[in-house]
Amino acid sequence: MTIQKLLIANRGEIAVRIIRAARELGIATVQVYSKADKDSLAVRLADESIEIGPPQASKSYLNQATILAAARTTGADAIHPGYGFLAENAEFAAAVEAAGLIFVGPTAQSIRLMGDKVAAREAAAAAGVPTVPGSAGRLDSADAAFALVEKTGFPVMIKAAAGGGGRGIRIARSAEEFHHLMPQAQAEALAAFGDGGLYVEKLIEGARHIEVQILGDGRDVIHCFERECSLQRRRQKVWEEAPSPSLAPAVRDRLCSSAVALARAVDYRGAGTLEYLYDDRSHEFYFLEMNTRIQVEHPVTEMVTGIDLVCEMIRIAGGEPLRIRQDQVRVRGHSIEVRINAEDPAKGFLPSPGTISALSVPAGEGVRFDSMLYQGYTVPPFYDSLLGKLIVHDKDRPSAIRRLQRALAELSVEGLATTKTLHQALARDPDVQAARFHTAWLEPWLETHAASLGTVAPSPTAKVAQ
């Protein structure tokens, strides 16, 4: 079934990204919006728009009934959930299909299976994919959890079985800490996801965060190689790149093959990402979880492979088989993405909503800026602070870092504080330039560099490690 009119059940830069992809495919678009987003760029760009409620996400972007009603009212025959909000909600995916509409994403069954971290670990183990040592299933009691920890040893991570985004996670380095943190993690998981189920896994210290992009049509699956996302603050990604600078070719082959094996095992349809921890000392990798949606950092994969992931997932949802064979996927050069958030890095990343009084966007070869911004736009305070993503591509990693430095110097977003200065400092840092980092590297770095992040960085003429 070919999609004729696509409703975007999201907002911000990902809504803009989906509208542009749909337009290139000749598909009409409908943008839903809350009262706070009536002047958004996505509303301006879409063929149609429809209000779905007040600023609170629970009463607008998370209101399934209202979104389905909007699709019926506008005559949309498909819904794209973007990322966040309802993107990984199995009940919503099922409701969309029950209403006779196309859900641009995997089946509800796949979302349900891979969205539960315990079930996903079990599926990974069954597919022969390595997992971090830990609980084989859900742990609903502290006694059962501690009995397991006594076998695995400390340190361990206590994690929510449902949800993501780093919520519900606690690190225990002793029995005393474990007994103190277990009920905290359970309460946070219950509050955030409505599910207090937990699991426990061994903490792999100094590990890198590597993820593999896959595309499937429900019958066949290919990978589009990997991304490195190790630079994180509070388990939120800050800087992403492709390919990973830390993987040897043989490890890359094993990692990507394992991702394809797992996605095939669950008959995956659409775009998805399998996340891993990688120990570059032992060269071992461990499956973490699967994100059954498009990722914020998908552009770096697009830049190095030339594959438009959003267009492909729309085509697949419309009933087309995979158009790309695995042997046609090649990596060319290196790409880096940095997230430009409305936050002040010099003040503990304090949120900084406001009006864009002036905007200058970088351009030139190998530079892309995916954003929701325009001059005069007022960034609302109700949602995620992501304003846009600055993506660069060049022949190799040192060249890409130099191009990033140049693009950051050209980027100007006036009227509010942004994380631009953070990325300028990271791009100059010798450890970042040499790719000497891991998932716990950034937070100690921030403690020693925070005071300098409120100043405008000098012109990007500093040498980058070759």
> Please, which residues have CB within 8 angstroms of residue 261's CB and are 6 or more apart in sequence?
127, 128, 129
Q: How far apart are CA 193 and CA 68, in angstroms?
A: 22
The Cα-based distances of 346 to 281, 325, 434 in angstroms read 34, 47, 25
For residue 154, how many C-alpha atoms fall within 13 Å in the half-sphere facing its CB?
11
**Of the listed 293, 339, 397, 402, which one is catalytic?**
293
Active site residue 368: no
C-beta of residue 273 within 8 angstroms of C-beta of residue 214: yes
- Measured between alpha carbons, how far is 73 from 273 in angstroms, rounded to an integer? 33
Place of tokens 């987003």: 37
Which amino acid is present at 84? G
Question: What letter would DSSP give residue 441?
Answer: S
What is the pairing mode between strands 28-34 and 48-53? parallel
Burial class (CB in 10 A: 0-12, 13-18, 19+), 150: exposed
Structure tokens belonging to residue 61: 């972007």
Residues 6+ away with beta carbon under 8 Å from 219: 267, 321
Q: Which stretches does DSSP call E strand in 310-407? A: 334-341, 343-344, 350-351, 354-355, 358-360, 367-371, 378-379, 386-394
Distances (CA, A) of 388 to 91, 150, 351: 29, 45, 15
Catalytic positions, written as ranges? 293
